[in-house]
């Protein structure tokens, strides 16, 4: 049980995130090598190196800032020292299809890794779905539920002594309380608890606790072939769902619910404490997120580089290397700034001025 104590789960969460970074960068690395490119450095993290070793022509390192990783391919950044302009192993001197494959390989590897993980999860435990039994999806800030101590993922079993097996049963019972304290029986992390909530008046809506409810996750026992099919298609179906959510919620969605590396580690840690099924599932989900995020056509991301390479493939004209480098550099700085701000706002909850 020591492994499930806080230090153990934090370490496992950090290692899980590190594995996902290795998977992504490993995709770039493998295809670059297969395409005849020289890879000078493979790094987990950015900034000053903490540990490194050299094997062959590549330096492998762990760096101090855990905001991702990178593969340093010779010639990927214009003006590198010690690289001949006509070096056949340099990135810009390889055919455009090889450069496209190398950049695409990182996100693609995240999707492949997630699919294989999901095959194992679905075969072992079943295909996830949502039942009718209610679970807290979100606790509204400054609400009665927040004051009482209800938390996301609390499973609601009873409200005011009445057994609950459908989320639609909760609101009428809460409203009937007339604002008097009621006891909500829940299960949190496998442990039963009783929390007293005093519902608050909310205009014409009556009395509310201040929670958004979803369904408790269920695991359907389907034939093995169906489970494999569901696992292989799940990453793409979930990506469509995320994109639709971004289209409707846009920047506000990212601003309110986005997480930096610390938040991701906290979420992995929480899932590890729920057991291996939830732990493996969140790792697969984050791998999908990493693949999708990096495919977005934004400067500094793999998707941004693919846009430039796509233009080159169609027009047969290469974009000015210095211009492209500048665009990506600005994009990286903006993304780093966004990650830092969101980390402070959503992960550390620092600075009430964010909410103004």
User: Which residues have C-beta within 8 Å of that of residue 137, sequence separation ≥ 6?
Assistant: 152, 211, 212, 213, 214
Return the active site residues. Answer: 25
Tokens of 23: 């998977």
Q: Decide: helix, strand or coil at residue 271.
A: helix
> Residue 333: which of 300, 289, 293 has the closest Cα?
300
User: Which residues have C-beta within 8 Å of that of residue 112, sequence separation ≥ 6?
Assistant: none
Concatenate the DSSP letters of all residues of 19-82 into one string: HHHHHHHHHHHHHHHHTT--EEEEEEEEEEEEEEEEETTEEEEEEEEEEEEEEEETTSSTT-TT
Are the C-beta atoms of residues 182 and 159 closer than 8 Å to each other?
yes
Tokens of 247: 């289209």
Q: What is the CA radius of gyration of the chain?
A: 24
Helix axes 276-295, 261-273, angle to 10 degrees: 150
């Amino acid at each position: 049980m020591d492994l499930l104590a806080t230090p153990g789960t934090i370490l496992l969460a950090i290692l899980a995130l590190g594995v996902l970074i290795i998977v992504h960068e490993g995709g770039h690395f493998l295809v670059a090598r297969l395409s005849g490119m020289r890879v000078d450095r493979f790094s987990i993290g950015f900034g000053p190196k903490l540990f490194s070793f050299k094997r062959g022509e590549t330096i492998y390192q762990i760096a101090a800032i855990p905001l991702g990783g990178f593969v340093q391919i010779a010639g990927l950044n214009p003006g590198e020292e010690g690289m001949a302009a006509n070096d056949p192993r340099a990135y810009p001197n390889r055919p455009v299809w090889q450069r496209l494959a190398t950049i695409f390989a990182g996100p693609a590897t995240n999707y492949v890794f997630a699919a294989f993980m999901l095959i194992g999860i679905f075969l072992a435990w079943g295909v996830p779905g949502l039942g009718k039994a209610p679970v807290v999806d979100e606790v509204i800030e400054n609400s009665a539920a927040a004051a009482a101590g209800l938390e996301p993922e609390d499973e609601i079993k009873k409200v005011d002594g009445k057994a609950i097996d459908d989320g639609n049963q909760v609101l009428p019972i809460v409203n009937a309380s007339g604002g008097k304290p009621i006891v909500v029986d829940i299960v949190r992390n496998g442990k039963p608890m009783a929390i007293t909530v005093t519902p608050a008046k909310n205009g014409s809506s009556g009395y509310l606790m201040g929670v958004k409810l979803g369904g408790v996750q269920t695991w359907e026992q389907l034939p093995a072939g169906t489970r494999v099919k569901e696992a292989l298609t799940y990453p793409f179906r979930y990506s469509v769902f995320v994109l639709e959510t971004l289209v409707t919620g846009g920047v506000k969605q990212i601003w309110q619910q986005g997480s930096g590396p610390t938040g991701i580690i906290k979420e992995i840690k929480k899932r590890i404490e729920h057991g291996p099924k939830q732990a493996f599932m969140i790792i697969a989900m984050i791998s999908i997120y990493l693949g999708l995020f990096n495919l977005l056509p934004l400067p500094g991301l793999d998707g941004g580089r693919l846009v430039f390479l796509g233009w080159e493939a169609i027009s047969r004209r290469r974009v000015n290397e210095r211009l492209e480098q500048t665009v990506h550099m600005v994009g990286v700085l903006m993304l780093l700034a966004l990650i830092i701000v969101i980390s402070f706002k959503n992960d550390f909850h620092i600075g009430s001025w964010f909410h103004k």
